[in-house]
Amino acid sequence: DYAKNRPQGRPVGPAGKDAAQPQVRIIEHADVKRMLLAQKSYGEGALALMLYCARLVDEQHTGTPEAADEARLLLEVLTPIAKSWPSEFCLEANSLAIQVHGGYGYTRDFPVEQYWRDQRLNMIHEGTHGIQAADLLGRKVLMEGGKGLMLVAGRINRTVEAAIQRPDLAAHANALGQALQQVGAATKAAWATGNPADALANAVPYMQAFGHVVIAWMWLDVALSLPGDASPAAHGRQRAMRYFFAYELPKIGAWLQVVSSRDATCAGMPEDAF
C-alpha cells in the first residue's frame, strides 16, 4: 500500500525528466517493482515449500508404506532447505520492504523495521546456516546411497516434464532442468576427493543453490496450477515465477562454482590474518 500511494520522482521520457510533470507513485518505478517482486517471490515461494513439506509429513502417516517411505526420504533432504532458505531470503524480503519505505522504513512510524528485527532470529535459532548446510551436503544427499536426492530430482523432473508441454512455460522448464543438473554435478564434484573437509568447506553456497532450485521448482509447480483467467492474483503469481527464473535462478552458477572447484579461500584463511 505504501508503494501504491507514495509519490516521488517523475517518469523518464525520450527527452529525460520533465519537472513540469506531476510526481508518480513509487510503484510505477521499475526498480520498486523489482523489490516488490523479489519480496513476493521469496515469501510465496517459501510458503509453497513449507506447505509441500507439511503434506509430506501427512503422507508419512496416511500413505501406503511405499509412499510413506518416499515422504520420509524427501523430508530428509528438504528439511535443511525448509529451515534455512526461508530464514535467509524472507529476511531479505524484510530488508527490501525497509528499502521501499526509504528513510521511513528505518523508523518506528512503520512496522517493517520491527519485522526485520524479529525475523533476524530465524537464521540463528534454526541451528545456524552452517549446520543446516553441513547436514544437507554432508549427510542428507548421501544417505541411503543418495536415494533421497534422487527422489527429489525425480519429483522436480516430473514437474519439468509437465511444464515443457506448455509453450508459455517450456523455457522455464528447460532452465530448471539444467539447474538441477548443475546441482547434481556440483554434488559429485564436492565429494570427488572423498575428504569431508574439502566437500563441506563451501556447504552454505551449495545449500543456497540447492534451495534456489527447490524454490524454482515450487514456482513452476504453482504456475502449472494457475487458472487460465487473467485475475490479478493469477497474473501476480505468474510474474513472480518469471521474476524468480529471470533474476534469482541464474545466481546458482556462482554459488556452485566454488562448490565444484572445492575452493579453499575461506577454509585456508590463516587465523592471524583476520
Active site residue ranges: 126
Which of 212, 70, 205, 225 lies closest to 130 in space, CA to CA?
205
The pairs formed by 175-182 with CB atoms below 8 angstroms and a separation of 24 or more are 175/216, 175/245, 175/249, 176/213, 176/216, 176/217, 176/220, 176/245, 176/249, 179/212, 179/213, 179/216, 179/249, 179/252, 180/153, 180/156, 180/213, 182/209, 182/252, 182/253, 182/256
Angle at 182 (CA atoms; ends 193, 74), nearest 5 degrees? 90
